[in-house]
Amino acid sequence: MNSRHFIRQFSQTTTNLKTGYSTVLPVHHLVKVEKAKLKPCYSEVVIPSDDIRSNKFKPTEIDQDRVQDHYYNTLESDLLLKFYEHDSKTIPGLKKREWGTDSPFKVFRKGKRKPKGSAIETQDIIPINYQNIPKLNSIVINSYNKNALERPWMNICTRLQLATITNKKPKILYNKSNILPWKVRRGKECGAKVELFDREMNQFITTLTEIVLPRLRAFEGIKLTSGDTNGNITFGLNADDILLFPEIENFQELYPNLNGMDITFKTSARTDQQAKTLLSSYGFPFYKPVKNSG
Amino acid sequence: MNKHLSNGILRKYSQSTTNNIPKISSTLILSRLPVITTELSKFEKLFYKYQEELWRRLMWTFPKWFYFNQGTLAELRYKQLNKGSMSYDPKILYPRGIPDLKQGRDRRFRQYIKAPKPYKEIDELSQEQIKEIEEQKLKNNGEELINKDDLTRKIIPNQRVTKADLNKDDKSLERRLERTLYLIIKVNDSWILPTFENEKNSTSLHELAESGLYKIGGDKINYYNVSRIPCHVKESNNNKEYFIKSHILSGIYEPQDKKNDYKWLTKEELKTYLPNFNEIEHLFSEV
């Protein structure tokens, strides 16, 4: 108890025994300051990476982007007209509910009740106007390599394959859980993924729609059932299909261990239907899978 | 009083059924989308070139060891074409700065790789070979002989300016490839966008536009209707003119009545032809 009296606090100018307090709010010890960066010799480090003076600067507008031009010149206005509905209103999504007060147990219950008819909240569907025309935000290429679980060097092949196709350094995927029958162990490398934006994304779309997909004999299109209900569409290519990418096609003997990949189109559309219309306007075909009866 | 009023209203309704049925017509904005990219201005070209050079400096060094195995013929051919840069000597003064050499590449600058080509550029040919090519050109009406089945031939892009541009052919779909073209037709000595009146009580506006288009332009048109919803409405007196947007994908417009003239024009050119251009200016694309 005695030692406490002698602890000097930020709000106090003298020892704890005396009266009096500071009127200035003690904010300074809540903000983390990296003093090294404030030194004049580190001024280059503080420059943001999109500034041309920064040593991390990477130019993004390097050439004319015809896919983007096509979107802004033609698709954008067409999609606005296509999705326009007279007198349409926002369709509210499922939201979390209050517990209510009809039982004493509910009164002080923490958190909110899950939405009716669903385990998770869903988005509001807003009518399309000139401000929220669906747009392709990014493409994620994900390649899960189960062979890499036993032979870790095989993941190098997967990373190389993605890097050659997309011209971007892939991120390594790691297992999250232990499932022993599948030899899945937490923290093991199991594939790679890349997220493409802007020019790189548009370049990849061109490669897919003009070179790779037209030459796939068995390819009918993306399944109409694809989609995560929030406007993101996924389809897969297997290892044989990847041979058709022009970067790999001429050097097939250098890539003996190709791996299939999942391609996800992240769009700003709020429904799958809108996202599929957007993708089909970029030249991706869709087909209705036939159900196997009996 | 009440009876009087209701009678008045009734009369109004009865009037509308006899005289005031709005005349509905559907106007087609049939466009041909740009085929090639837009021509860049000089400033844009310089900007992109500058940015691209900055970007190329960040490029990874070409992994020669990966693509060419040591001791192979391919590696030998690669080495003959690509001579490695000088080694760094601390005794020499470098006016452009000390080279940052890694794997035979100066990492301060972009790396140029020469790949073996199955054809020769003009500066690589001997004078006799150039003479031969020119003689062939003269025999072939000034055009170079190109074997189109040869997959290893040099890729030469087509001209941005087509024959239709040179001949100033307004009726060709191959003119002004970098711009959107719109169809206009001549009716009673005035140029209009094709308009079709609802004579047979068609079920929908876009079907009315479609049947009308086939009627005046023949059925060799493959077109895409953007939406069933009209993009504009023009109301005058008792007429309602709905504008339906669609794109021609392939085929040709052949006027069924030879007297009917037609043109494919860009937005700027439409200005001189359409009398009501100012009202519908916003419907046409700038590009």
Structure confidence by residue, pLDDT tens digits, B65-91: 999 999 999 899 999 998 877 788 889
**pLDDT top residue among A86 and A293:** A86
Of A63, A82, A251, the CB nearest to B48: A63
Q: A81 and B34: CB-CB below 8 Å?
A: no
- Residue A55: closest CA among chain B residues belongs to which residue? B58
User: Is the ipTM, as predicted for this complex, more than 0.90?
Assistant: no
Percent of chain B, pLDDT > 90?
Answer: 50
Separation between Cα atoms, residue B238 and residue B23, nearest integer Å: 6
Residue B7 — pLDDT band, cuts 50, 70, 90? very low
Are both B275 and B167 inside the same structural domain?
yes
Domain identity same for B69 and B121? no
pLDDT at A8: 56
Closest alpha carbon within chain A to B52: A62
pLDDT at B16: 47
Relative orientation angle of helices A198-207 and A154-166, to the nearest 10 degrees: 100
In-domain check, residue A114:
no
Q: Domain span at residue B194?
A: 2-36+163-283
What is the mean predicted confidence (pLDDT) over A271-292? 93
Q: Mean pLDDT over all residues of chain B?
A: 86
Q: Is the Cβ–Cβ distance between A178 and A185 less than 8 Å?
A: yes
Mean pLDDT of A109-136: 93
Which chain A residues are closer than 8 Å to B34 by Cβ? 73-74
Q: Which of B47, B55, B227 sits opposite A58 (nearest CB)?
A: B55
Q: How many domains is chain B built from?
A: 3
Tens of pLDDT, residue by residue over B55-68, are 998 888 999 999 99
What average pLDDT does the structure give for chain A?
88
Same-domain pairing of B197 and B227: yes
- Averaged pLDDT for residues A263-291: 95
Partners of A85 on chain B (C-beta within 8 Å) are: 229
Per-residue pLDDT at B127 exceeds 60: yes
A 241-260 residues inside an 8 A Cβ radius of B? 251, 254
Residue A123 maps to a domain: no
Nearest to B27 by CA among B203, B152, B185: B185
A190 CA: distance to closest CA in chain B (Å): 24
pLDDT digits 0-9 by tens, B201-239: 767 888 899 999 999 999 899 999 999 999 999 998 888
| Band (A99; pLDDT cuts 50, 70, 90) | very high
Give the domain range for residue A59: 1-64+133-294
Asked, for residue A97, whether it belongs to a domain, the answer is no
Tell whether the model's pLDDT for residue B1 goes beyond 80. no
Position A112 in a domain? no
* B243 and B139 housed in the same domain: no
Residue A43 pLDDT greater than 90, yes or no:
no
pLDDT of A93 above 70: yes
Give domain status of residue A77, yes or no.
no
pLDDT value at position A285?
Answer: 96
Give pLDDT, residue B222: 94
Beta strands B23-32 and A189-196 are: unpaired
Is the pLDDT assigned to residue A271 strictly greater than 60?
yes
Residue A158: in which H helix or E strand, if any? helix A154-166
Q: How many domains does chain A have?
A: 1
The per-residue pLDDT for range B241-262, each reduced to its tens digit, is 999 999 999 999 999 988 889 9
- Preferred mutation among B226, B228, B245 to probe A, highest tally of A CBs within 10 A: B226
Give the per-residue pLDDT at A12: 53
Assigned token pair, A10: 């930020």
DSSP A184: B
Residue A108 has pLDDT above 50, yes or no: yes
In this predicted structure, the answer to whether residue A1 has a pLDDT above a threshold of 60 is: no
Task: Tell whether A169 lies on the interface with B, counting CB pairs under 8 A.
Answer: no
Beta strand B221-225 with B239-251: parallel, antiparallel or unpaired? antiparallel
Q: Does residue A61 sit at the B interface (CB-CB below 8 Å)?
A: yes
Q: How far apart are CA B154 and CA B38, in angstroms?
A: 24
The distance of A226 to chain B (nearest Cα, Å) reads 24
* CB-CB neighbors (< 8 A) of A69 in chain B: 37-38, 287
Question: How far apart are the C-alpha atoms of B102 and B63, rounded to whole Å?
Answer: 11
Minimum distance, in Å, between the CA of residue A209 and any CA atom of chain B: 16
Q: Do A86 and B229 touch (CB under 8 A)?
A: yes
> B205 φ, ψ to 5°?
-65, -40
Higher pLDDT, B6 or A64: A64
Model confidence at B10: pLDDT above 80: no
pLDDT band per the 50, 70, 90 thresholds, residue B6: very low
Nearest-angstrom CA–CA distance, A214 and A284: 10
- Quick check: is A120 in a domain? no
Residue A76 lies in a domain: no
CA-nearest of A202, A175, A190 to A62 is A202
Domain holding A269: CATH number?
3.30.1440.10
User: What confidence category does residue B14 fall into, taking pLDDT thresholds of 50, 70 and 90?
Assistant: very low
- Interface probe for A, chosen from B37, B177, B244, B283 (most Cβ of A below 10 Å), is B37
The reply to whether B150 and B233 lie within a common domain is no
**What percentage of chain A exceeds 70 in pLDDT?**
87
Contact B226 A81 (CB under 8 A): yes
Proportion of chain A in helix, strand, coil states, percent, rounded to 5: 35, 15, 50
Using CA atoms, how far apart are residues A153 and A175, in angstroms rounded to an integer? 16
Domain holding B246: CATH number?
Answer: 3.90.79.10
Where does residue A188 rank: exposed (0-12), middle (13-18), buried (19+ CB within 10 A)? middle
Dist. CA B35–CA B55, nearest whole Å: 29
Residues from B contacting A (CB-CB < 8 Å) are 33-34, 37-38, 40, 44, 47-48, 51-52, 54-55, 58, 66-67, 180, 226-227, 229, 231, 245, 285-287
pLDDT at A41: 79
A87 at B interface, C-beta within 8 A = no
Residue A29 has pLDDT above 70, yes or no: no
Percent of chain A exceeding pLDDT 90 equals 72
pLDDT-derived band at A47, boundaries 50, 70, 90? confident
Region B13-42 average pLDDT: 82
Average pLDDT over residues A84-89: 93
Residues B171 and B224 in one domain: yes
φ, ψ of residue A124 in degrees (nearest 5): -75, 140
- Tell me how far CA of residue B111 lies from CA of A60, B37, B55, B103, B254, in angstroms: 19, 28, 12, 11, 54
Closest residue, chain A, to B60 (C-alpha): A167
**H or E segment and range at residue B243:** strand B239-251
What average pLDDT score do residues A261-276 get? Answer: 96
Q: Domain boundary at B157, B186, B214, which?
A: B157
Say if the Cβ atoms of A69 and B37 lie within 8 Å: yes
pLDDT in tens, B147-164: 778 888 888 889 999 999
pLDDT in tens, A197-207: 999 999 999 99
- Write down the pLDDT at residue A87: 93
The confidence score (pLDDT) of residue B122 equals 78
Distance CA B32, CA B178 (A): 10
